[in-house]
Amino acid sequence: MKKNTFKTYKEEIIKRYALAKVEDLSGILSMPTPAQLRDFCSMKCDKGLGRLDEELMKIFFETKTSESLKHSIEHCNIDKFKPVISFLKGEKDTENKIRVGIAAIIVDYNPRPFSKFSGVEIENTDFESSEEKNSDETRFIKEVESLEKETIQKPNKRFVFILSALLIIVLGLTVKIVAFPQKQCMQWQGDHYEKVECQSEINNLYASSPIIPFDEDLQELDKLTVCDTTTFFKGGKAVVWYCKVGDVPEFFDRPGFHPITGKSLRAITPYIINKYIKSKKHNKVEVKTQS
């Protein structure tokens, strides 16, 4: 077991970063920029934060009492993230607990913050490689090899049964992958994502939209056609998000990133509604809400 010092906490966060890069289908964490990490934090804020994470973010982004955390994130000085990036890449150490805490939130390391970590024993184990983490066959093979060693040392009918079952599962997965390949990628096609073959040719109609790894949550994103009767708010919260492409906003049904430009989607506001969705007579639209 490792002694739970602040140095150990930082080491565990950097180890977690190696795994987070593999899990992050957006690719942001592989080569992060300050602007991308700002948008990444904005996304985490949209998805909901725990009380401690929210308090730490408010300190990091210097959120004023009169403003929301989301607003302070979107208008922060992105240079704040440069030391965080240097720390995660192992280029420069830091003793700043706030920066280290933000790094822990970004890579989703638990237990956090350090006050929780200091009271938990952490085993001195390394993270699996990306191939080990993402391959069902590899995990099964490792289990089989472990059971084979135990079976040789202590012959046991139970081990033989488990070994046979695992081999059958591995064989079944292999046959399924070879005989019935799944569509593991998707592409934005006009107003929604469609599953496609990762190696398929891009339809000329959607050549500007890249083929990306399949993401079940991201697949639910839909582009909206809005008008003055659209419900924009429910319970006082926005249910429509937008992103400007040139000078024209495009509207979507959930937070995320624009499928073509990659820019972060923002929650709609009465200002945007009145400026871009008002009638030809320039009368202000009554913002429709739903409890």
Would you list the DSSP string of 147-213? HHHHHHHS--HHHHHHHHHHHHHHHHHHHHHHHS----EEEE-SSBEEEE-TTSPPPGGGTTSPEEE
| CA atoms of 67 and 56, how far apart (whole Å) | 16
Range from 14-18, 70-74, 204-208 carrying the lowest mean pLDDT: 204-208
* pTM above threshold 0.85: no
- pLDDT for 290 equals 62
Q: What would the pLDDT profile of 219-247 be if each residue is shown by its tens digit?
A: 888 999 898 888 999 998 999 999 998 88
What is the CA 32 to chain-centroid distance, rounded?
A: 13
Q: What would the pLDDT profile of 46-82 be if each residue is shown by its tens digit?
A: 888 888 999 999 999 999 999 999 999 999 999 999 9
- pLDDT for 156 equals 60
Mean pLDDT of 182-187: 76
Closest CA to 87 of 14, 141, 182: 14
Q: Encoding tokens for residue 267?
A: 């929650």
Closest CA to 192 of 212, 229, 218, 156: 218
- pLDDT for 72 equals 93
Task: Evaluate whether 242 touches 215 at the Cβ level (below 8 Å).
Answer: no
- pLDDT for 219 equals 81
Percent of the chain with pLDDT over 90: 29
Closest CA to 120 of 291, 225, 4, 39: 4
Q: What would the pLDDT profile of 137-164 be if each residue is shown by its tens digit?
A: 444 445 445 544 544 455 566 667 787 8
Instruction: Supply the Cα-derived Rg of the chain in whole angstroms.
Output: 24
Q: Encoding tokens for residue 143?
A: 């289990």
